[in-house]
Chains A and B, each alone.
Chain A
């Protein structure tokens, strides 16, 4: 049994099948890219994994444990964290407080260092190069920093599996570069990472394995080089957007 695995995961919205019988297995430390045209079901798939949506059929296994139907905070407590495509920081707080919120979670108190909430929050900010801005109101941060802060918030639960929903959207290549480096390092240290991304250039540089979704199904799964050459992918993805 793989580290993170789904079996026949299905979600309907009325007549629309957003996610259609997805079975996929991911090993520890793997860095998997999830691509597909708009409406392919990528974000829905993430919401099913993280407990924000309940599947109509199928289930999700994490470390041989069935997590289907658990509330999001329980899934985060078991070590699966996610970021959101639309970044909405805790706007009435400082950068440090934004991360400290997640550091007060039961899992962070268990898994994080003994230094406590505020020290852990500072360490995580430092890892994402946001340390110098710790005391600033979050509203003053530029968009690139907010994207990194969102990753910092997810990391503050000390996840084993990290789901990143379009972490580069709205960023220039220059702003994306340090995030790519950071996420690669994270995976090398053993964190399993799944990335939904529209920016193929960034994703191909980052992921060792790419899963292609269309109409809620997985139409291809393999190395970035192989995926880029598959005619069905070129037609579905590249053909669909240009």
Chain B
């Protein structure tokens, strides 16, 4: 009995490997190894500063992966991901400092606010063909940034909201919270992207008319993808507010939106795991380049050029292909 089931399992494993899912297996193995390494990080390194870099990297990885599920898969470019990050961050920060609600309530409330904003931006524009959604996200991010300044009695204007309570006083607890969040978002989005539903998103990018002619409500798919993109970004924003203990208008800035896009491109667009890898790569590289201050975005962009020329599919995707080839 035991032998039989073992035999059957071996056969099944052989089947899985031989039917072309080897690529997927390699992705899962490497992804698992990466998550395990991240899980063991606080055990290996006790340095607070080092951990704080990885805490922020976790959040950027989730932001990039969430940008990818909409823009990387359906091809509808979102130039204002900061709308969602910023709304999540400000809502969580204000609920904390004004109403003294715990993060466990404030951060999900931020995601709820993000849901409303996403529907406002997406429903009128995603049904249209052409650049309307891209323009709307660009404009909306600008509007939100201005609102954050204009509503200074509430938001603190340029100064922002101070004294947001930390997630935890322990760096490793904070790290594990953000790691758990990042892991859930990345695995959840990866699974979604691999599902039949995600397959339709990829088809929409190539030929939306053929999808409609096949009886698929493409607007519903795109709005669904937008919500899956916006809500994790809002949660990441809320966590960011508590991690930094401060929120300023920069969370709505074009620089943040562009950073998220560059992370996705450098890691590998349309793969989820690539976007997450790009988030880690650029956060750590950015920390190393801290001395350059204002010029960081310039350096990011400069880093993008060789990637586009030599590894247009992205660094993480290229690395995976290379490892598989050996």
Contacts and interface: CB of A to CB of B under 8 A. Distances in A.
A107 interface: yes
B159 interface: no
A54 B267 CA distance: 43
A156 B214 contact: yes
B284 interface: no
Contacts of B215: 73, 76-77, 81, 102, 105-108, 157
Contacts of B210: 84, 88-90, 153
A166 interface: no
A97 B199 contact: yes
Interface string A95-110: 0010011101111100
In this complex, the member of A76, A81, A84, A97 whose beta carbon has the largest number of chain B beta carbons within 10 angstroms is A76
Nearest to B205: A92
A93 interface: yes
Contact of B206 (A71, A76, A84, A88): A88
Q: Interface size bucket, B side?
A: 20 to 34
Given A97-B199, A117-B196, A135-B20, A104 B216 contact: yes
A82 B199 contact: no
Contacts of B202: 90, 92-93
A90 B196 CA distance: 14
A218 to B, nearest CB: 24
B101 to A, nearest CB: 41
| Chain A interface category by residue count | 20 to 34
Contacts of A100: 196, 199
Q: Which among B196, B199, B200, B203 has the greatest number of chain A C-beta atoms within 10 A? A: B203
Contacts of A74: 217
A233 B147 CA distance: 67
A38 to B, nearest CB: 21
B218 interface: yes
A81 B206 contact: no
A81 B213 contact: yes
B212 interface: yes
